[in-house]
Amino acid sequence: MVKILLKSVREYKWMSLLSPLLVTIEVMLETYIPFIMGNIIDYGITPGNLGYISSWGMVLVGLAVVSLIVGAGASWFSSHAAAGFAQNLRHDEFAQVQKFSFANIEHFSTASVVTRLTTDITNVQQAYQISIRIAFRAPLMFIFSMIMSFRVSQQMALIFAIVVPILAVVLYLIIHTAYPLFSHVFRRYDILNRVVNENLRGIRVIKTFDRQEEEINKFKDASNGIFTIFSKAQRLMSLNAPVMTFMINTTMLIVSWVGAQMIVGKSLETGQLVALFSYTMSILFSLMMLSNIITMLSVSQASANRIAAVLQEKPSIVDPAKPVTTVKDGSVTFDHVSMTYLHAEHPSVADVSLQIKPGEFVGIIGATGSGKSTLVQLIPRLYDVTKGTVLVGDVDVRNYALRPLRDAVAMVLQNNTLFSGTIYENLRWGDPNATDAEVEKAAQMAQADSFVQEMPKKYDTYIEQGGSNVSGGQNQRLTIARALLKKPKILILDDSTSAVDTETEGKIMTALRTELPDMTKIMISQRITSIAQADQIIVMDDGQINGVGTHEELLKSNAIYRELNNSQQKDVQDTIKEGGDSNAPDAGNK
Ligand SMILES: Nc1ncnc2c1ncn2[C@@H]1O[C@H](COP(=O)(O)OP(=O)(O)OP(=O)(O)O)[C@@H](O)[C@H]1O
């Protein structure tokens, strides 16, 4: 796992190596300073030797300055290397997520991917910075201080041999209890992110239903969950400080008591005792630092695992070894195709066989959940079939490189998203090199040009995030125009004219049929009127094809289609009787 993450260190490798090197120098200098101080007391101050004091005093100042500079360098290199490493890791993880298929994303959940890209990366960044600085500093400080205190007085150093193991056991017990709590926190972050994500996406629905209060409570629950675990873990960790203070004071007392007796017995000098006080502090503090480091590193191990899982996830839909790069035409064949979603028990599409000729207009109709969207998503390979084969231009879709396949198959979803930017910019997602005239032509076919022309800035009108400043029907027409700019061989409209009135929808289909006769048009719709003109209509029922034919043929031969037609005719009649208008959605332009 560590190996996978460390691949992202890249250009920050040398900084990462410099930091521990400088730390080693810093610690050596720092532990030498009390030794010189002790000597100055014993050989300079006590006998009144001013020459000794001034010459070693200069050395002392020199060492302190060098140690300061080296320490600052180590700190700078470690923080810079850690920030750079985190940046690379974030880019690598984000790039990996872009390669994911829908199935991959469903595996992790969007909220969890967000936590892995934010909180988890921050944790790993901190852990990395600690690893290349403090994780070196603490044990080195401990070892050098132990060596130096043995050098000063072996007898006194034995005190540490008793105190250190006791402290180590206490600190271990604290960490051991706190760690499992920390590792739970991340799962709580996923929940928090899910609540925020859902809230922001559905903010309009929330406002419409006046559900702010409930949403605040949902957020509070998620946030309280994090608070409870964190404060429990922190309460345990806060025991560290009093335990340390107690141990330091006790050790100091023992050192003072034994030291005083040794001074009286002439086996220890005053300066040596002062040096030993300093080493006591260093040894105990480095132990505390070590315990903190171990906790932080173990906590961030959970984060590191979660990031590594994303980096190691194999994108389930990738280019084949020798991909076909051109799509011959817009023909589509389903050959005994079945598709079962991950974790689903039953197939959403079962044993479907179907032939669509290039340029045909195909309508798909059926009850909700009958598998219409699943079926068409197999054409641009948004999901792979579980059984059978889907062929586009007589080639199995799995044999194409993804880019040319998805360029040839444009898909417009019911809730397709527009992005923040001008209308020109949004439509050019379909073709970045399209001229203004080409953009406008596509918009005309999608019946979007008329309302865009009425906007003050026309095609330079700024679309807000998620297309929030255009109506649902306008949004749909713009996304159809965007898809048309790809000049696809196959255009799939997945209920993507649902918010467009029937008259405008009719105009769109007429434009597509007359101006793009070679482009295969596959249209999913709940409205019979939308697909009645199709060359063939497919009636889906429970994942299977229940009937295929033209409008007239199906009216005669297919019970489901007849039933749908009758109920929709009745609705129209009822509405007319009530004096309403059947073409409710988006009848006017905003
Ligand atoms: N991502 C998914 N994971 C698991 N099951 C799914 C997923 N998407 C759809 N399904 C299930 O597959 C079945 C077919 O769904 P699909 O969206 O293809 O139906 P549909 O006919 O297009 O419905 P609608 O008209 O409501 O859009 C449904 O039972 C649905 O619950």
CATH numbers and ranges of domains, the chain: 2-312 (1.20.1560.10), 332-577 (3.40.50.300)
Q: Among 147-161, 203-217, 244-258, 269-283, whose mean pLDDT is lowest? A: 203-217
Q: Which residue, judged by its Cα, is nearest atom 30 of ligand 1?
A: 369
- How does 155-172 read in b/e, with b if 16+ C-beta sit within 10 Å? ebbebbeebbeebeebbe
How much is the pLDDT for 324?
A: 93
Of the residues 100, 370, 495, which should be mutated to test ligand 1's pocket, given the most ligand atoms within 8 Å of the CB? 370
Of the residues 374, 492, 493, 494, which should be mutated to test ligand 1's pocket, given the most ligand atoms within 8 Å of the CB? 374
User: Is the CB of residue 369 below 6 angstroms from any atom belonging to ligand 1?
Assistant: yes
Check residue 113 and give left, alpha or beta (phi > 0: left; psi -120 to 50: alpha): alpha
For the segment 339-350, the average pLDDT, to the nearest whole number, is 89
- pLDDT tops 80 at residue 502: no
- What is the four-CA torsion angle of 357, 358, 362, 368, rounded to 10 degrees? 90
How much is the pLDDT for 144?
A: 93
How much is the pLDDT for 337?
A: 95
- pLDDT tops 80 at residue 182: no
Q: Sorting pLDDT into bands at 50, 70 and 90, what band is 589?
A: very low
User: Is the CB of residue 424 below 6 angstroms from any atom belonging to ligand 1?
Assistant: no
How much is the pLDDT for 582?
A: 43
Atom of ligand 1 nearest to the CA of 349: 14
pLDDT tens digits, 457-469: 888 888 876 666 7
Atom of ligand 1 nearest to the CA of 373: 22
State the SS3 of 89-141. HHHHHHHHHHHCCHHHHHHHCHHHHHHHHCHHHHHHHHHHHHHHCHHHHHHHH
Q: The tokens of 446 are what? A: 């999608």
Check residue 135 and give left, alpha or beta (phi > 0: left; psi -120 to 50: alpha): alpha
H or E element that contains 493: strand 490-494
pLDDT tens digits, 201-260: 778 778 777 788 888 998 999 899 888 888 887 787 777 778 778 888 888 899 899 999
Q: Sorting pLDDT into bands at 50, 70 and 90, what band is 166?
A: confident
Distance from Cα 321 to the centre of ligand 1, integer Å: 31
For the segment 147-171, the average pLDDT, to the nearest whole number, is 86
pLDDT tens digits, 80-131: 999 999 999 999 999 999 888 888 887 887 778 888 898 889 999 999 999 8
- pLDDT tops 60 at residue 575: no
- pLDDT tops 70 at residue 483: yes
Q: Sorting pLDDT into bands at 50, 70 and 90, what band is 580?
A: very low
How much is the pLDDT for 368?
A: 86
Share of the chain above pLDDT 90, in %: 42
For the segment 543-569, the average pLDDT, to the nearest whole number, is 88
Q: Sorting pLDDT into bands at 50, 70 and 90, what band is 588?
A: very low
Q: Which residue, judged by its Cα, is nearest atom 24 of ligand 1?
A: 368
Distance from Cα 368 to the centre of ligand 1, integer Å: 8
Q: What is the ipTM of this complex?
A: 0.96
- pLDDT tops 70 at residue 353: yes
* CB atoms inside a 10 Å sphere around CB 212: 12
Of the residues 339, 341, 346, which should be mutated to test ligand 1's pocket, given the most ligand atoms within 8 Å of the CB? 341
Q: Sorting pLDDT into bands at 50, 70 and 90, what band is 577?
A: low
Q: Sorting pLDDT into bands at 50, 70 and 90, what band is 498?
A: confident
Distance from Cα 201 to the centre of ligand 1, integer Å: 20
Q: Which residue, judged by its Cα, is nearest atom 4 of ligand 1?
A: 341
Distance from Cα 192 to the centre of ligand 1, integer Å: 27
- pLDDT tops 50 at residue 581: no
Judged by DSSP in three states, 421 sits in strand
Q: Compute the radius of gyration of the chain from its Cα atoms.
A: 36
Residue pair 351/388 in contact by the 8 Å Cβ criterion: yes
Closest CA to 560 of 546, 571, 543, 548: 546
